[in-house]
């Protein structure tokens, strides 16, 4: 895992990040601006055979708590456990007790397979249902609903 804070203008970083920011103009620019300007936002990368293979961006508001803001794996490596390994690295590196991510229907299965609970947020954009995914460490305290 490498910190990409100093590489936000690199073409390979931006290309992978583009897969995670979703549709809309200037999405990569906005995301890079947050990683550049906001101390709680951090972008990390993973390499394979000397090439950038995946990126994950976290917002770290408090110790043990994070929101996964962006997550992308190079297309050639998808479905091979690389994304799960990235999440596990982040959980271990930051001693996370709770990790949340908002996503679309295409990625919900990935998060479920990684042990996240999933709840629908409804149709936040016309024709697009969004989901909140939440992972909690097995021995983390929970609140009864």
- As for how many domains the chain has, the answer is 1
| In-domain check, residue 131 | no
| In-domain check, residue 8 | yes
| In-domain check, residue 87 | yes
Domain residues for the domain of 63 are 2-101
Question: What CA–CA distance (Å, rounded) separates 89 from 97?
Answer: 13
| In-domain check, residue 41 | yes
Question: What CA–CA distance (Å, rounded) separates 24 from 75?
Answer: 21
| In-domain check, residue 142 | no
pLDDT digits (tens, 9 = 90+) for 42-91: 999 999 999 999 999 999 999 999 999 999 999 988 888 899 999 999 99
Q: CATH number for the domain including 38?
A: 3.40.630.30
| In-domain check, residue 67 | yes
| In-domain check, residue 125 | no
pLDDT digits (tens, 9 = 90+) for 81-128: 899 999 999 999 999 999 999 998 889 999 999 999 999 988 877 787
pTM: 0.89
| In-domain check, residue 128 | no
Query: CB-based burial of residue 111 (10 Å sphere; 0-12 exposed, 13-18 middle, 19+ buried)?
Result: buried
Q: Pull the structure tokens for residue 86.
A: 């990235």
Name the 3-class secondary structure at 82. Answer: helix
């Amino acid at each position: 895992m490498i910190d990409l804070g100093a590489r936000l203008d690199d073409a390979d970083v931006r290309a992978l990040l583009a897969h995670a920011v979703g549709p809309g103009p200037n999405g990569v620019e906005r995301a890079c601006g947050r990683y550049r300007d906001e101390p709680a936002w951090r972008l990390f990368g993973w390499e394979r055979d000397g090439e950038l293979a995946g990126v994950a961006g976290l917002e770290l508001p408090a110790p043990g708590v994070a929101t996964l803001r962006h997550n992308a794996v190079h297309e050639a490596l998808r479905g091979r456990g690389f994304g799960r390994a990235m999440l596990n690295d982040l959980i271990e590196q930051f001693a996370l007790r709770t990790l949340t991510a908002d996503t679309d229907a295409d990625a919900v299965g990935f998060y479920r397979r990684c042990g996240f609970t999933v709840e629908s947020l409804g149709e936040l954009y016309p024709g697009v249902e969004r989901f909140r995914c939440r992972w909690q460490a097995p021995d983390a305290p929970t609140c009864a609903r």
